Amino acid sequence: MTRISIVGGSGYTGGELLRLLLAHPEVEVVQVTSRSRLGEFVYQTHPNLRKRTTLKFSSPDQLEPVDVLFLALPHGQAQTKIEHYAALAPKLIDLSADFRLRDAAVYQKWYGSPHAAPGWLDKFVYGLPELHRTEMAGAHYISGVGCNATASNLALLPLVKADLIETAPPIIIEIKVGSSEGGAEGNPGSHHPERASVIRTFSPFGHRHTAEVMQELGLPNVSLTMTSVDIVRGVLATAHATVKPGVTTKDLWKAYRVVANENPFIRIVKEQRGIYRVPEPKILAGSNYADLGFELDESNGHVVAMCAIDNLMKGASGSAVQCMNLMLGLDETTGLEFMGLHPI
Amino acid sequence: MTRISIVGGSGYTGGELLRLLLAHPEVEVVQVTSRSRLGEFVYQTHPNLRKRTTLKFSSPDQLEPVDVLFLALPHGQAQTKIEHYAALAPKLIDLSADFRLRDAAVYQKWYGSPHAAPGWLDKFVYGLPELHRTEMAGAHYISGVGCNATASNLALLPLVKADLIETAPPIIIEIKVGSSEGGAEGNPGSHHPERASVIRTFSPFGHRHTAEVMQELGLPNVSLTMTSVDIVRGVLATAHATVKPGVTTKDLWKAYRVVANENPFIRIVKEQRGIYRVPEPKILAGSNYADLGFELDESNGHVVAMCAIDNLMKGASGSAVQCMNLMLGLDETTGLEFMGLHPI
Amino acid sequence: MTRISIVGGSGYTGGELLRLLLAHPEVEVVQVTSRSRLGEFVYQTHPNLRKRTTLKFSSPDQLEPVDVLFLALPHGQAQTKIEHYAALAPKLIDLSADFRLRDAAVYQKWYGSPHAAPGWLDKFVYGLPELHRTEMAGAHYISGVGCNATASNLALLPLVKADLIETAPPIIIEIKVGSSEGGAEGNPGSHHPERASVIRTFSPFGHRHTAEVMQELGLPNVSLTMTSVDIVRGVLATAHATVKPGVTTKDLWKAYRVVANENPFIRIVKEQRGIYRVPEPKILAGSNYADLGFELDESNGHVVAMCAIDNLMKGASGSAVQCMNLMLGLDETTGLEFMGLHPI
Amino acid sequence: MTRISIVGGSGYTGGELLRLLLAHPEVEVVQVTSRSRLGEFVYQTHPNLRKRTTLKFSSPDQLEPVDVLFLALPHGQAQTKIEHYAALAPKLIDLSADFRLRDAAVYQKWYGSPHAAPGWLDKFVYGLPELHRTEMAGAHYISGVGCNATASNLALLPLVKADLIETAPPIIIEIKVGSSEGGAEGNPGSHHPERASVIRTFSPFGHRHTAEVMQELGLPNVSLTMTSVDIVRGVLATAHATVKPGVTTKDLWKAYRVVANENPFIRIVKEQRGIYRVPEPKILAGSNYADLGFELDESNGHVVAMCAIDNLMKGASGSAVQCMNLMLGLDETTGLEFMGLHPI
């Protein structure tokens, strides 16, 4: 059994990771840390784990060496102690934003302060298997992914990979998200009477995850518009782009099928009948699937490309476990088989 | 125009009161206080008031004398300065729990500490017009009402008034409530990801509003069970009692009709067809109606009596304005005509 | 009192109209028709009207002449009997899509069949007061508005009116809507277990309301993308356009202020702090306001223009009553004063 | 591999069963029938199964013999053809209400018509493992369970088993349920604008599941009050009973611990701190757990006993798979390990 610890286990990403690893047949969870809940049972914070584990939160200052170390800390913390963490395990996956960008100047532009460990940036593989599967096999350090970036990257992946869209004109990505994306700490705007029933555009453009889309897809002119709606889990990214002259719906089908065939967690959802004709995060809670769809207006080349994910799964902890599987030479779907629920 | 001020205007009760009074044809709002938001436009806190008032929150230390003073402070504050507030206006309505109970010992039992102004308790009229309309005409001091107490009191009012139920056996009242009942301040449990989709029984018995039901209906053996559900506004109280021997459904119809005829904001909802056959808070948002319903199992005398209200209206600020109207000799429905919305 | 009847009163638009007119101080509702609910009390269908009216649904075949006739029929019906309806009242407001477009060929393109009364198309004024206020004063025939078209038209109105945006490049409008937009008749996708918690893009482009935006704003290259979310009432339109060279945020502020000053139901929502910084339909339920906001990326000219409305109010029945007021020479806000609720 | 078929696979219960069996390591799904969707891929109806199975709905008239046959038909259908179905498999589990009651007269009383196969009633074991585990080992026929009955039965099980409550006085059970309980077919009241945000008491007493509580717990005086709230999955039953003289909280703890220790899917939730102190269906979506809690007012013997379940899992398909495991001699938790999600 591969021995695993999680640093920062009281947040939503850490809790989801713990849930997945407790059920994973090839690993054993050794420690989960939390300063604020030190000594408490993990199921008091993550009530779904009741009767499944008697683990208690331990101190981050008393970490034992393990085979794989996951960091699920708030952004900005991992980079200040990365040497320390790397000394504890031969393989490390950091779910924060600290090691997603390859260029320290880009990091500083989007995150507002210099990176504390710029020399480590190019040691990390960006944590989206659909983009970096082969590099992950021998990797020691893998970053997490931004959930909105993941929905955007996967929405556009078939189009970019098959070189079907114009990259110079603006690509507008409208993203609708649930409340868990904001993390486990409350704020005035997350108080239920204020947060219920919202359609609240909290970032018209300039969201930090934009940098991950530009870096990973090589798109120079991308804009993300973020809007909160009344769900807990889920992201839907709707990207508006323009196809190259002569590109048809048939070309798109082909491009999407290639991507769906190569990737076990990519599905195409494009039905002519029934209720579920397009990608929807509703049915993805707890699942690691990314559902893709598209519609092309052949009269003007306007393509609408959609991707739905569970932000805590494919957009965070699910992808991280998938990366771990690839790192360890396991089948990448191990421990990620949950299909999602219908209805929900 | 009657001059009015509101002490404590940044919470939900204060905001709702302000909304009602700004639209009330017979009154003028002079001041609204808030220490924490001093100097800010009230519409920054209550966004529905944008373009309707340029009032700013003023200091509670600089209150001018007015005709009617509303206190919408957190529980426990009004009682410590009641002399001060009473000196500022000939008529005063306190929406907190401070002056709802007539007996200082009962107050201490349910609220855990001695009352700071026990001599004032019997100066106040309990603020439910359906129970104290005639006393309100000449009153100087009127208390608020607990929202859960109001739903319970009105659910049982026709049965108690017509002396149709046994009062010795336990009367179980199951109450389902929305999130606005908890007030404008957030807490870990009100964070949207934790509060959405709940059916959360936060008080199996012993809720403080029980004291108001016992006092106002004279019922010795009442229990309130409180459960939060995923709405913002609304309370449904479902009371389980036993009718006296021989009481029939026809007797109940008669008792309910009497109460509905005497009270402009009481409606009976008991339909055999359609979607809306029973009282439901869903359609009451913003309305001052209390919708009553009942069902009697004649085989065993089990009566289920229901009352739906908007907790911020009939359960708080709406009733307070209704009291003010009665105090001032106005038609009690003035400024409370909004019908509610369908669908919503 | 102006005598009014409503043809087609069992749907959501008809019900909302009825609610507004029952509370309107200058009009009297004479008849409300419904074939399917003939003879039933209107409050059995619209439960918020209980205790407010004893009107029953009457037959559309027995309409009396009135001063103003509202048609709230399913699309396609008014056009087949427009001569008949016009003979019953000197003033007529049709809330359906039948008389919104001025050009019969455009109608046929978007609605798929020839118009049944093309000669009537240019007799109607398009029912958005913010665009056609002066024409409404003497008008006999006013059309309704599409709710999504209204959110789009108002989002872009300040920009178009002040000639601040490029009109040749594509303007992408992303629209998020509640379930009441689909009307009172259920379908498999509106069944609660399937409709709750959705983020469901039901129309990537090609929505019929696009024609109203093109016609009213004169924009040749507009695309509407429609996504359903988990609310009942409300529309948020987010339009992505490009400003002309040199246009600054200051220019936009000026343009928006002009429109807000000219129109009693237009508000600008653009705050630097607090919870409600941008337009949100959440707080607009029952209100006739259209809340506008914008954000300009001066580095590349990308402007995000937002408009939030209640689809049944400003997007349908509220605008229709506002039109009636203008038609009748009344203050246009009469009967539309409700401020909306917070929290809700 | 045990060969399995499902008769009636297009509803919610059938879909959930299919999801569980497709992931079950010891069984193979041979056929899933649906008349209305004959020939369609099952994932078109149950979108969570996309990319997980290429099964199509087959005809109920062309069933092959299998090892275990599940019937997930609308109530009333299985009993008319039970001989036919029983001939197809040595083991049969019927999820409908047809074979839950042991007494044909009781069936007729609650279901309104005579049972079509009364001779089969005592061949079936009632499908709740917590009550009938040992009988299930050699059973050929197992019935399903009512979801509300299950929440009620498990809420009271520790109290009844340890003989701690009075059984003569009325036991009031208040049950709050989500919309999936009503099944996959829509009706006017399940249309999203009418069903969202409800607190709707659709059955004050007399719900059919009452019969299962009376039968299984031997309680003569039980009443179920059913109220719909705005969730899709989940049931919370809150039972009000009276303990026998002298019974203390400590006695209750002991009784609950016994039941939790004997049953792998029973958990006690009774915390003094944190957000999740009581049983809540919110965190149980997709899980087979039944979470139990209680609170005793020692001053008057009023005990509030709670049970939260996912109605489609522990309340239907999850229990059915648990029964199958016991029937087949497998570990009863096989294929039911999913922990549920937090947050959700």
**Average of per-residue pLDDT across A273-285:** 97
Asked if residue C121 lies in contact with residue C104, where contact means CB atoms within 8 angstroms, the answer is yes
Q: Mutate which of D10, D36, D45, D191 to test chain C, going by most C C-beta atoms within 10 A?
A: D191
Contact C134, C112 (CB under 8 A): no
Residue A232: list chain D partners with CB under 8 A. Answer: 343-344
**C-alpha angle A229/A233/A234, rounded to 5°?**
70
Buried b (16+ CB within 10 A) or exposed e, D148-177: bbbbbbbbbbbbbbbebbebeebbbbbbbb
pLDDT in tens, D289-312: 999 999 999 999 999 999 999 999
Question: Per the structure block, which two tokens stand in for D103?
Answer: 């007494």
User: Coil, strand or helix: which one is B176?
Assistant: strand
CA–CA distance, B135 with B150 (Å, rounded to integer): 18
- Model confidence over B75-94: pLDDT tens digits? 999 999 999 999 999 999 99
pLDDT at B158: 98
pLDDT tens column, A105-115: 999 999 999 99
Provide the pLDDT for residue D130: 98
- Per-residue pLDDT, averaged over A190-204, amounts to 97
Please state, in angstroms and as integers, the Cα–Cα distance from residue B320 to each residue in A80, B334, C32, C344, following that order: 56, 12, 35, 20
Measured CA distances, C13 to B40, C94, C154 (Å): 38, 11, 20
Q: Is the peptide bond before B343 cis (omega within 30 degrees of 0)?
A: yes
Q: Are D88 and D62 in contact (CB under 8 A)?
A: no
Side-chain-facing half-sphere of A136: CA atoms under 13 Å: 27
Q: Are C44 and B270 in contact (CB under 8 A)?
A: no
**How far apart are the C-alpha atoms of B287 and D185, rounded to whole Å?**
33
If DSSP codes are grouped into helix, strand and coil, which group holds residue C328?
coil
Closest-approach residue (CA) in chain B for C260: B51
Burial class (CB in 10 A: 0-12, 13-18, 19+), A64: exposed
Distance from CA of C47 to the nearest CA of B (A): 7
**pLDDT tens for each residue of C21-77:** 999 999 999 999 999 999 999 999 999 999 999 999 999 999 999 999 999 999 999
Whether the bond into D343 is cis, omega within 30 of 0: yes
| Chain C residues closer than 8 Å to A148 by CB | none
What residue of A is the nearest CA neighbor of B11?
A193
CA C80 – CA B343 distance, rounded (Å): 29
Res A146: pLDDT: 98
Phi-psi region of C112 (alpha: psi -120 to 50; beta: other; left: phi over 0): left
pLDDT band at A29; cut points 50, 70, 90? very high
Strands D91-94 and D68-71: parallel
Please report where in the chains the tokens 């009457």 appear, as a residue: C58
Mean model confidence pLDDT for chain B: 97
Yes or no, beta carbons of A50 and D267 under 8 Å apart: yes
User: Would the pTM of this model clear 0.90, i.e. be above it?
Assistant: yes
The SS3 call for residue A303 is strand
Could you say which of A178, A190, A231 has the minimum Cβ distance to residue B191? A190
The gap from C-alpha C131 to its chain's centroid, in whole angstroms, comes to 13
Task: Name every residue in A having a CB less than 8 A away from some CB of D.
Answer: 12, 15-16, 19, 22-23, 44-52, 180, 184, 232-233, 267, 269, 271, 273-276, 280, 283, 285-287, 289, 291, 337-344
Closest partner residue to A186 among B180, B191, B196, by Cβ? Answer: B191
Sheet of C222-229, strands arranged across: C199-203, C222-229, C171-177, C235-242, C302-309, C290-297, C266-268
- What is the nearest CA distance from C272 to chain B, expressed in angstroms? 10
Whether D199 sits inside 8 A of B343 (CB atoms) is no
User: Comparing C-alpha atoms, which of B293, B8, B244 is closest to residue B144?
Assistant: B8
Q: For testing the chain B interface, which of D176, D179, D191, D199 should be mutated: the one with the most B CBs within 10 Å?
A: D199
Task: Give Cβ neighbours of residue B81 (< 8 Å, ≥ 6 apart).
Answer: none
User: Which chains pack against D, by 3+ Cβ pairs within 8 A?
Assistant: A, B, C
Phi–psi pair at C18, nearest 5 degrees = -60, -45
pLDDT in tens, D42-54: 999 999 999 999 9
- Phi, psi angles (nearest 5°) of residue B257: -65, -40
Q: Which residue of C has its CA nearest to A306?
A: C201
CA-CA-CA-CA torsion sign (A273, A278, A282, A287): positive
Query: DSSP code of B204?
Result: S
Best C201, C203, C230 residue to mutate vs chain A (most A CBs within 10 Å): C201
d(CA D119, CA D102): 10
Which residues of chain A have a CB within 8 Å of the CB of B147? none
**What's the DSSP call for residue A154?**
H
Angle, vertex CA D162, rays to CA D161 and CA D163, nearest 5: 90
DSSP per position, C57-109: -B-GGGPPP-SEEEE-PPTTSGGGGHHHHHTT-SEEEE-SSTTS-S-HHHHHH
- SS3 labels along chain D: CEEEEEECCCCHHHHHHHHHHHCCCCEEEEEEECCCCCCCEHHHHCHHHCCCCCCECECHHHCCCCCEEEECCCCCCHHHCHHHHHCCCCEEEECCCCCCCCCHHHHHHHHCCCCCCHHHHHHEECCCHHHHHHHHCCCCEEECCCHHHHHHHHHHHHHHHCCCECCCCCEEEEEEECHHHHCCCCCHHHEHHHHCCCEEEEECCCCCCHHHHHHHHCCCCEEEEEEEECCCCCEEEEEEEEECCCCCHHHHHHHHHHHHHHCCCEEECCCCCCCCCCCCHHHHCCCCCEEEEEEEECCCCEEEEEEEECCCHHHHHHHHHHHHHHHHCCCCCCCCCCCCCCCC
**Phi/psi of residue D52, each to 5°?**
-115, -20
The shortest C-alpha distance from A149 to chain D (Å) reads 21
* Distance (Å, whole) CA D90 – CA B282: 50
Q: Strand, helix or coil at B231?
A: coil
Cβ separation C48–B15 shorter than 8 A: no
Q: How many Å is the Cα radius of gyration of chain A?
A: 20
Q: Which residues of D touch B302 (CB under 8 A)?
A: 170, 205, 223
Residue B45, classed as helix, strand or coil, is: helix
Tokens of B231: 């709405």
Question: Are B46 and B15 a contacting pair, CB within 8 Å?
Answer: yes
Alpha-carbon distance of C317 to C320, in angstroms, equals 5
Interface of C with A (CB under 8 A): 170, 172, 174, 176, 188-189, 193-194, 197-202, 204-206, 221, 223, 225, 227, 229-231, 234, 236, 238, 240, 242, 275, 278, 280-282, 295, 297, 300, 302, 304, 306, 308, 343-344
- With bands split at pLDDT 50, 70 and 90, how would you rate the model's confidence at B30? very high
The subunits that touch chain C, with at least 3 C-beta pairs less than 8 Å apart, are A, B, D
* Rounded Cα distance, C99 and C139, in Å: 14
List D21, D128, D147, D247, catalytic entry: D147
SS3 for A222?
strand
A63: phi > 0 → left, psi -120 to 50 → alpha, else beta; which?
A: beta
CA-to-CA separations, C50 to A229, B289, B333, D26, in angstroms, rounded: 32, 10, 16, 58
- Residues of B designated as active site: 147
Q: Quick count: other Cβ atoms within 10 Å of Cβ D185?
A: 12
Q: Give CA–CA dist D318/D19, Å, rounded.
A: 10
Mutate to test the interface with D, among A48, A190, A309 (most CBs of D within 10 A): A48
Residue of A nearest to D283 (CA): A48
A contact set with C (CB within 8 A): 170, 172, 174, 176, 188-189, 193-194, 196-202, 204-206, 221, 223, 225, 227, 229-231, 234, 236, 238, 240, 242, 275, 278, 280-282, 295, 297, 300, 302, 304, 306, 308, 343-344
pLDDT of the residue at B130:
98
Compute CA A285 distance to the chain's CA centroid, rounded to the nearest angstrom. 13
Closest CA in chain D for residue A178: D344
Interchain proximity C306–A201, CB inside 8 Å: yes
Among residues D54, D75, D73, D93, the alpha carbon closest in space to that of D12 is found at D73
Average pLDDT over residues D122-146: 97
- CA-based nearest distance D116→chain B, Å: 28
Q: Are strands D124-125 and D68-71 parallel, antiparallel or unpaired?
A: unpaired
Type and span of the H or E element at B18: helix B12-22
* Closest listed residue to residue D17, CA positions, set D93, D121, D131: D93
- Which residue, chain included where needed, has tokens 């379930």? C179
Query: Chain D partners of B188 at a C-beta cutoff of 8 Å?
Result: 275
Q: Is D242 exposed, middle or buried (0-12, 13-18, 19+ CB in 10 A)?
A: buried
Give the mean pLDDT of D82-89: 98
Rounded to whole angstroms, the Cα distance separating C267 from B59 reads 28
How many CB atoms within 10 Å of residue D261?
10
Q: Which of C249, C156, C213, C303 is nearest to A225 (CA)?
A: C303
* Token pair in block for residue D57: 């709905």
Q: Name residues of chain C where pLDDT drops below 50.
A: none
Point out the residues of A that are catalytic.
Answer: 147
Closest-CA residue to B197 (of A185, D274, D236) = D236
